[in-house]
A and B are shown apart, each in its own frame.
Chain A
Amino acid sequence: MRSLLIALALLTAPAAWSQSTALQLSLPNNETELRVPKEPCDLVRSVTWAHAVTFVPCDDLRFWFATSCGDEPPSGSDVIHTVPKANLPGTPTTGNTVTFEVSELPLFNDAACPAEQKEEEYKLCASVPVPGGLATDCSSGSKNFHKSNVDVVYDSLPPAVPTIDNVAALDKALSVRVAAPEDASRLKLQIVRADGTGARTVDQSVDQTLFRVENLENGVTYSVTATAVDAADNESAPSEAQTGTPVLTRGFFDRYVEAGGQEMGGCGAAAGGLAGGWVLAILGFWLSSRRNRS
């Protein structure tokens, strides 16, 4: 009995694997979810699909949104894209795309787009029926499904407000350390003179929370605020403003020059020539002494 069960498991496992991997939906850069911004509502996003094995489609390949994916779209749900059975090649295919607009998400079936302060998670489901069991055509009536899905998140919730931990005065620059909220993917720093002129923005990944803002004027006070931006491009409210004033600093080279040091920099070519001359002279002397000896 146990041998029979093992044999059955071995026979059915490849079929199950084939069904779960035959059809694949994927996102750019191997991302695990597609975050959709609050607006514009007609923004088009795309998902790539591929079919990895040779198969006989029994019906169209359909794509739809749901909170969980079944074999087929639930009745009453909108199918956002269909690939007719006749257009399915039946052989392995890659690089196909399915597109949708933000306003096609189920959230907007009974609400206006855009929606404020929402974070709704859906799955983009894809499924195509194929002959079931050991059948090689669809006439038997037995069906299996090649299916796949990816997570799609409508995110109109801005990240929490970041905080500026420290502003350090450097020479013609400021060093600003920002504490980023968890859901941020980028940080933006706005720098403006205390009198309101010369505004600039610096933008960097949340992996680098230390900003170095260059080309500032020593002795001028700057006001600095930070905002956090999430993967769906929602921007937080600005942080509390901090101020900093770049100052002239002296490094080792300044101190050396002030003390009367004569170094001008450069590779020391003249001395290099001298050194090379010595090496050649020694080599010549050695060669001539060997010749004399022989």
Chain B
Amino acid sequence: MSRAVALGVLALLGALPSQALEVSDAPTLSTHSPRTGALEFKLGGYKPRIDTEAGLTDTPYANTFGNESMLLFEVEMQRYFFQRFGSAGVGFSAGYAEKYSDAVTETGELAAEKTALKVVPLKLNALYKFDYAAFRWGVPLVPYGKLGLIYMPWWINKGDSTQQLDDRSGKGGRWGYGLTLGASFLLDVLEPRLARDFDTDLGVNHSYIFAEWTYAEVNNFGSSGLVLSSRHWMFGLALDY
């Protein structure tokens, strides 16, 4: 069954280039606006690997939040510096995720107040997109990769205030790095005329939906403390401008 589905998907993807080639039959005079960067909106499940910290005798994240992911929303601005064989540039992204659960009493019963972990991932990435095949041959898939620095402010609330335990502050920031691999699907092939209008009216050259997987090590480069590393998928919409 799964093989049949895979064959079906392959057939569909194989058919798309021919449709895209029809798009390229348009007059040779280019009406595209200049393409300088991209804007991405993405959503996904982020589960920090807090419980993997060396020396922990229990699993506080799983015990508190049920080992569930946080819903992460990110916006990324990209700027291309190279657009010949694919596109290369830099990107800056900012996001927000939070997870709430009930606090507990000393006897382990659920308390009437909540506790929460909140994070704001900030990323500076170098990126490369292999969009040569999409623009030259009409293949609507664009694989890409990003490598960069991550700084992640975090804070932990109980009730309506940030927790403070003796000399420990329940807020801070962790540094790290991340690698992201993904693939975008060029939506222009589905509605070429609408895509052209989008470019003419708003300067959006191309639009994509994408899925990407991130390997992030956010643990202050191996020092002790909160491990906000993760391996997670994100899905979203990208607009070239």
Whether A272 pairs with B151 at a CB distance below 8 angstroms is yes
Asked if A271 and B159 make an inter-chain contact with CB atoms under 8 angstroms apart, the answer reads: no
Stretch at the interface among A33-41, A153-161, A164-172: A164-172
Within 8 A of B (CB), among A230-257: 247-257
Partner of A268, one of B58, B115, B167, B220: B220
Judged by a CB distance under 8 angstroms, whether A261 is at the interface is: yes
The answer to whether B173 touches A268, judged by C-beta atoms less than 8 angstroms apart, is yes
Count how many chain B residues have C-beta atoms less than 8 Å from C-beta atoms of the other chain: 48
Q: Judge whether B19 is part of the interface by a CB distance below 8 angstroms.
A: no
Closest approach, in angstroms, between the C-beta of B97 and any C-beta of chain A? 14
* Chain A residues in 8 Å Cβ range of B225: 261-264
| Residue pair B160, A266 in contact (C-beta under 8 Å) | no
B163 surroundings in chain A (CB, below 8 A): 251-254
B117 is an interface residue with CB less than 8 A from chain A: yes
Q: Is the CB of B64 within 8 A of A262?
A: no
Q: Which B residues are in CB contact (< 8 Å) with A261? A: 53, 56, 60, 225-226
Residue in chain A with minimal CB distance to B159: A170
B158 in complex: contacting residue of A249, A265, A271, CB < 8 Å? A249
Query: In the complex, which of the residues B56, B151, B171, B220 has the most CB atoms of chain A within 10 Å of its own CB atom?
Result: B220
Which residues of chain B come closer than 8 Å to A256, judged between CB atoms?
A: 50, 60-61, 156, 226
- Asked whether A270 and B223 contact (CB < 8 A) given A249-B105, A253-B158, the answer is yes
A27 at the interface (CB under 8 A from B): no
A264 to B223, CA, bound (A): 12
- List, in ascending order, chain B residues with CB within 8 A of A248's CB: 105-106
The residue in chain A whose Cβ has the minimal distance to the Cβ of B64 is A252
Count of CB-CB pairs between chains A and B under 8 Å = 137
Asked if A111 lies at the interface with its beta carbon under 8 angstroms from chain B, I say no
CA A271 to CA B174, docked complex, whole Å: 8
Give bound CA distance, A268 to B169, whole Å. 12
Residue A134 CB within 8 A of the other chain: no
Q: Report the bound CA distance from A275 to B221 in whole Å.
A: 9
B65 A265 Cβ-Cβ under 8 A = no
Q: What distance in Å separates the Cβ of B65 from its nearest Cβ neighbour in chain A?
A: 7
Q: Tell me how far the C-beta of A268 lies from the nearest C-beta in chain B, rounded to whole angstroms.
A: 5
A274 CB–B CB distance under 8 Å: yes
Q: A212 touching B158 by the CB < 8 A rule?
A: no
**Are A170 and B112 within 8 A (Cβ)?**
yes
Chain B: which residue is nearest A170 at the CB level? B113
Residues of B close to A267: CB separation below 8 A: 153, 172-173
Decide: A259 near B116, CB < 8 A? Known: A247-B105, A268-B175. no
CB A264 to nearest CB in B, in angstroms, measures: 5
Check B13 for interface membership: any CB of A closer than 8 A.
no
Q: How far is the CA of A256 from the CA of B220 in the complex (A)?
A: 18
Q: Scoring B residues 161 to 191 as 1 if CB is less than 8 Å from chain A, else 0, what string do you get?
A: 0010101111111110000000000000000
Query: Within the complex, what minimum Cβ distance (angstroms) separates B81 from chain A?
Result: 12
**B55:A275 contact, CB within 8 angstroms:** no
Q: Is the pair A249, B111 in contact by a Cβ cutoff of 8 Å?
A: yes
A260 at the interface (CB under 8 A from B): yes
Check if A271 sits within 8 Å of B169, measured CB to CB: no
* A171-B53 in contact (CB<8A): no
Q: Name the residue on A nearest B63 (C-beta).
A: A255
Q: Scan B53-72; emit 1 where CB is below 8 A from any A CB, else 0.
A: 10111111101110000000
B169 and A264 contact, CB distance less than 8 A? yes
Contact with A along B130-163 (1 / 0, CB 8 A): 0000000000000000000101010011111001
**Cβ-based interface call for B16 (8 A):** no
In the complex, the answer to whether A254 meets B168 with C-beta atoms within 8 Å is: no
B28 within 8 A of A: no
Judged by a CB distance under 8 angstroms, whether A279 is at the interface is yes
Contacts of A207 in B (CB 8 A): none
Task: Please measure, in the bound complex, the distance between the C-alpha atom of A258 and the C-alpha atom of B65, giving whole angstroms.
Answer: 16
Tell me if B101 is interfacial: C-beta within 8 Å of chain A: yes
**By the criterion CB–CB under 8 Å, are B115 and A252 in contact?**
yes
Judging by beta carbons under 8 Å apart, are A275 and B223 in contact?
no
- Besides A249-B158, A259-B58, 16 more A-B contacts (Cβ < 8 Å) are A170-B111, A171-B113, A171-B158, A175-B113, A247-B106, A250-B103, A250-B104, A252-B101, A253-B170, A255-B60, A267-B153, A268-B174, A268-B220, A274-B175, A274-B221, A275-B151
**Which 6 residue pairs across A and B have the least CB separation, nearest first?**
A265-B169, A251-B158, A251-B115, A168-B112, A271-B220, A259-B58
Report which B residues bind A (CB closer than 8 A). Answer: 50, 53, 55-61, 63-65, 101, 103-106, 111-113, 115-117, 149, 151, 153, 156-160, 163, 165, 167-175, 220-221, 223-226
27 A-B pairs with C-beta separation under 8 A: A169-B112, A171-B159, A247-B111, A249-B104, A249-B158, A250-B105, A251-B64, A251-B163, A252-B60, A252-B116, A252-B158, A254-B158, A255-B60, A256-B60, A256-B226, A262-B55, A263-B172, A263-B224, A266-B173, A267-B153, A270-B223, A271-B221, A271-B223, A272-B151, A275-B149, A275-B175, A275-B221
